[in-house]
Amino acid sequence: MRFITSIAAALVEAWGELRVSRLRVMLSLIGVAVAVAALTAVTALGAVAEQSQREQQERYQGRPALLTFMPSDSTGMKSPDPSLTTTAFQDAADRYGIDWTSRVLQDSGSVELPRGVTEMPIMAVDPDYGTMHRIAVREGRWFDADDADRFAPAVIVSTDLWKELGSPDLRTHPHFELSGTSPSTAVVIGVTGETCDGQCLSMTMLYDDFVKTGFTRIDDGPGAYIPQPSYEAWVPPSTAKKLMPRIASAMSLALGDGWQINPSRMDYAAQLGGYDPYLPLKLAVGGIAGLVLLLGALGLVNISLVTVRYRVREIGIRRSFGATAGRVFFGVMMESVVATVVAGLIGVAIAVAVLKNPTVIGFITSSVQDVPPFPISAALIGLGSSAAVGALAGLVPALVAVRVKPIDAIRL
């Protein structure tokens, strides 16, 4: 209780001093507030840019570690048979205890839209794909296991395609016709964020539905193009290196002679190898903010020193009323810390206000869908550095204050 009281009393004392010398404090703290705003903004910018970049990378290349296996026939004599390769992949995945797998096929097909039959990119996947690529569905939902049993295939459309359909409420089960060897009616169950001013008409459906619909005409003859899916497995990054060749060889063994499995890993963690592409930028702007903070701190030290000299009498009076040397030291230090923390709060608020502005966010993330939340870590770094600067700037004046001889000071 005594300790808490001492802290509370020192805070009361510091606040009282700051209140009395508002102008001085304000002038000395502008630099600190600006520097903290810059530092926080830079940290937050880095975090937001990194997060947005990472989300994009995850959407296209998967979350670490995402292994991709691409079967190919080295003899060129055999027609690819997706059902065989799928079985080989599933067996290998089961053997190595991999829970998250998906077939992935990128193709195109014709659908009947209100404006007529339109050819558009179609992606065919398994339900796990959504988790493996952290797909954000803006409206409705992603696929689940039951969607495979539907009579009318479920599809997830891009924002542009959804708008093309007239932005219907998904509870009304909006649908459109799919052209293929077995034409069917697709029911929209979700909308993803892709948009490029109405040009990005695309959709995603379950792999089995895609095959059933028969967008690609298998009976076009022996030379016809038969799409071959790639196989993705999401595994813990620590085991990725070991699993990659093992799964590949298990698949080739199952498929027999002539089949080659090309394993690859495309996720950003594998590409960057721990390198942060934003590091140079972050270091440069962070360094500048650090310098500004240092200049602010020097200004604060200067003003605090002058003030302590001016306040020698007051310190003497406080000593005569029982303030210990430690308390005087702590009090002067707290004044500095309380002041810079207040400046830090203002700085962080400025940074938040700036970074919450969609225009600013647009500069750093090209295809922003939602303004990401302000990173707490950046705010904490801003506040922490302002408190540290306050403590450092308060140290010298606090040492001067402790050396004040009470009666000499009072009789000044």
Rule CB under 8 A: which residues touch another protein?
1-2, 4-5, 8-10, 12-13, 16, 20-21, 313-314, 317-327, 406-407, 410-411
Q: Which residue, 133 or 318, is less far from another protein as judged by CB? A: 318
- Min CB(16)–another protein separation in Å: 6
Q: Which residue, 62 or 406, is less far from another protein as judged by CB? A: 406
- Min CB(376)–another protein separation in Å: 33
Closest CA to 254 of 401, 68, 85: 85
412 by Cβ neighbours in 10 Å (0-12 / 13-18 / 19+) ranks as: exposed
- Min CB(370)–another protein separation in Å: 48
CA separation for the pair 39, 348 (Å, rounded): 9
DSSP 8-state code for residue 218:
G
Q: Which residue, 84 or 410, is less far from another protein as judged by CB? A: 410
- Min CB(407)–another protein separation in Å: 5
- Min CB(387)–another protein separation in Å: 22
CA separation for the pair 285, 68 (Å, rounded): 38
- Min CB(363)–another protein separation in Å: 46
For residue 243 the two structure tokens come to 């699993």
CA separation for the pair 394, 405 (Å, rounded): 19
Q: Which residue, 282 or 319, is less far from another protein as judged by CB? A: 319
Q: Which residue, 326 or 362, is less far from another protein as judged by CB? A: 326
**Residue 389, CA distances (Å) to 13, 31, 287, 384, 394 in order:** 20, 12, 15, 9, 8
CA separation for the pair 386, 292 (Å, rounded): 12
Q: Which residue, 3 or 151, is less far from another protein as judged by CB? A: 3
> What's the residue count for the chain?
412
CB of 395 closer than 8 Å to CB of 333: yes
Closest CA to 105 of 124, 121, 88: 124
